[in-house]
């Protein structure tokens, strides 16, 4: 059965979801809307749990495959997401690889894993990226995807994927105005202010990324420490909204995503700060990936008798993916790289210098 694939590659974890093509019941007319021809997003178990480590190793055959995420392991590449755009490569088993090439390798592995599970390649794929990334980083990703044989996956901002997921599930307040998308993952905090329009359409107002507030610290803190970290994250969200000069009453809800947003204390603190509903949709670790899969549903009717996408004779990690209906336009040729992210430089083992 045809399906769409959504992937979120975070700093420490990777999640995926699919959206299947549905068939009309016998005796019922086909769906008039192309989007209605697709079912809800379904989380995918990539390993032993819904998420796997954002980590890669080189297989004996020289292919990039998922690792176990062990910190400091010399033959694993981790933490490469926010190195995209950096001019310093990542060392892996004696090789120096570009961060965007590693991210593309992770997407290849997920696509190959889905082929094994579903018996066919995805019809379309969407990769969710940090909301604040600009044209320079996105162009690097597009080039890396092309070099990896992935075609042209759609690039979906994280906050946009979250809004699409809530829109599709009918969870937004009626006549929703501005929304705060609050994503607290294991390694960072991202807060975005978004104006929703029709399903799959939205307008970004601003985004704040804070690598100093990490959900992993919440997991290891005592009660007082948890409250301190979560209050600091809520304060960042409040300052982000206040800086936009949003008129009172225009904010409609706070949407939660990320592995560290399941604590009732966080919901309480956000509700006190914004006086609007604080909403969660299923497992917050999977919210972005589910929204990404929903983001690439066609908006025009497809001819069911039309030609199927070409696929190779056997599944490989480089599963071909049909170009998204609405890919992002190429960035300007003269786009400058973003500020260089912090880089931890460690001495390579003597045998690999």
The residues pairing with 52 across neighbouring beta strands, listed in sequence order, are: 14
DSSP letter string, 152-181:
-PEEEEHHHHHHHHHHHTT-SPTT--EEEE
> Under a CB-based contact definition with an 8 Å cutoff, are residues 127 and 7 in contact?
yes
According to the model, what pLDDT value does residue 61 have?
Answer: 84
Q: Which of 7, 73, 92 is nearest to 46 (CA)?
A: 7
On average, the pLDDT of the chain sits at 83
DSSP code of 334? T
According to the model, what pLDDT value does residue 199 have?
Answer: 64
Task: Sort strands 124-129 and 3-9 into parallel, antiparallel or unpaired.
Answer: parallel
By CB neighbour count within 10 A (0-12 exposed, 13-18 middle, 19+ buried), where does 221 fall?
middle
According to the model, what pLDDT value does residue 48 have?
Answer: 82
User: How far is the C-alpha of 128 from the C-alpha of 242, rounded, in Å?
Assistant: 27
Higher pLDDT, 300 or 227: 227
Share of the chain above pLDDT 70, in %: 79
Q: Average pLDDT, stretch 211-233?
A: 93
Q: Average pLDDT, stretch 156-169?
A: 95
User: Poorest-confidence range of 13-22, 38-47, 295-304, 317-326?
Assistant: 317-326
User: How far is the C-alpha of 255 from the C-alpha of 174, rounded, in Å?
Assistant: 15
Share of the chain above pLDDT 90, in %: 65
> Under a CB-based contact definition with an 8 Å cutoff, are residues 166 and 146 in contact?
no
CATH architecture of structural domain 3-158+290-352: 2-Layer Sandwich (3.30)
Per DSSP, the three-state class of 216 is helix
322 falls in which pLDDT band (50, 70, 90)?
very low
201 falls in which pLDDT band (50, 70, 90)?
confident
User: For the chain, first and last CA: distance in Å?
Assistant: 49
The tens digit of pLDDT for each residue in 110-145 reads 999 999 999 999 999 999 999 999 999 999 999 999
According to the model, what pLDDT value does residue 62 have?
Answer: 83
> Under a CB-based contact definition with an 8 Å cutoff, are residues 236 and 210 in contact?
yes
> Under a CB-based contact definition with an 8 Å cutoff, are residues 80 and 66 in contact?
no
Rounded to a whole number of angstroms, the CA Rg of the chain reads 20
Q: Which two tokens stand for residue 295?
A: 């983001």
pLDDT value at 314 more than 70: no
* CATH no. of 172-280: 3.30.420.40
Q: Average pLDDT, stretch 287-306?
A: 78
User: Poorest-confidence range of 67-81, 105-119, 258-272?
Assistant: 67-81
The segment(s) of the chain belonging to CATH 3.30.420.40 are 3-158+290-352, 172-280
The residues pairing with 146 across neighbouring beta strands, listed in sequence order, are: none
Q: Which two tokens stand for residue 109?
A: 């592995």
> Under a CB-based contact definition with an 8 Å cutoff, are residues 112 and 319 in contact?
yes
By CB neighbour count within 10 A (0-12 exposed, 13-18 middle, 19+ buried), where does 140 fall?
buried
Q: Average pLDDT, stretch 264-289?
A: 96
User: How far is the C-alpha of 143 from the C-alpha of 207, rounded, in Å?
Assistant: 25
């Amino acid at each position: 059965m045809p399906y769409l694939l959504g992937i979120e590659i975070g700093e420490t974890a990777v999640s995926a979801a699919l959206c299947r093509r549905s068939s009309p019941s016998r005796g019922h007319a086909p769906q008039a809307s192309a989007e209605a021809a697709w079912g809800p997003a379904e989380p995918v178990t990539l390993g032993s749990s819904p998420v796997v480590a954002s980590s890669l190793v080189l297989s004996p055959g020289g292919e990039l495959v998922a690792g176990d995420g062990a910190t400091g392991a010399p033959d694993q590449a981790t933490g490469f997401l926010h190195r995209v755009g950096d001019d310093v490569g990542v060392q892996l088993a004696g090789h120096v690889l570009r961060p965007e090439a590693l991210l593309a390798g992770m997407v290849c592995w997920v696509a190959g894993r889905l082929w094994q599970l579903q018996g066919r390649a995805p019809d379309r794929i969407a990769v969710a990226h940090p909301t604040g990334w600009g044209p320079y980083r996105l162009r690097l990703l597009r080039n890396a995807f092309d070099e990896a044989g992935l075609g042209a996956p759609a690039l979906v901002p994280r906050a946009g994927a979250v809004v699409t997921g809530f829109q599709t599930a009918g969870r937004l307040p009626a006549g929703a105005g501005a929304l705060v998308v609050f994503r607290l993952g294991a390694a960072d905090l991202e807060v975005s202010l978004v104006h929703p329009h029709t399903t799959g359409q939205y307008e970004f107002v601003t985004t704040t990324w804070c690598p100093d507030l990490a959900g992993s610290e919440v997991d290891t803190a005592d009660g007082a420490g948890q409250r301190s970290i979560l209050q600091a994250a809520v304060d960042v969200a409040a300052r982000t909204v206040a800086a936009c000069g949003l008129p009172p009453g225009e904010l409609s809800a706070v949407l939660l995503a990320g592995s560290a947003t399941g604590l009732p204390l966080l919901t309480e603190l956000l509700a006190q700060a914004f006086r609007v509903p604080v909403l969660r949709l299923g497992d917050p670790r999977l919210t972005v990936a589910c929204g990404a899969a929903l983001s690439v549903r066609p908006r025009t009717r497809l001819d069911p008798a039309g030609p199927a996408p070409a696929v190779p004779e056997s599944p490989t990690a480089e599963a071909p993916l049909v170009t998204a209906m609405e890919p992002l336009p190429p960035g300007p040729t003269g786009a400058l790289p973003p500020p260089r992210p912090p880089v931890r430089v460690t001495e390579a083992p003597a045998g690999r210098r």
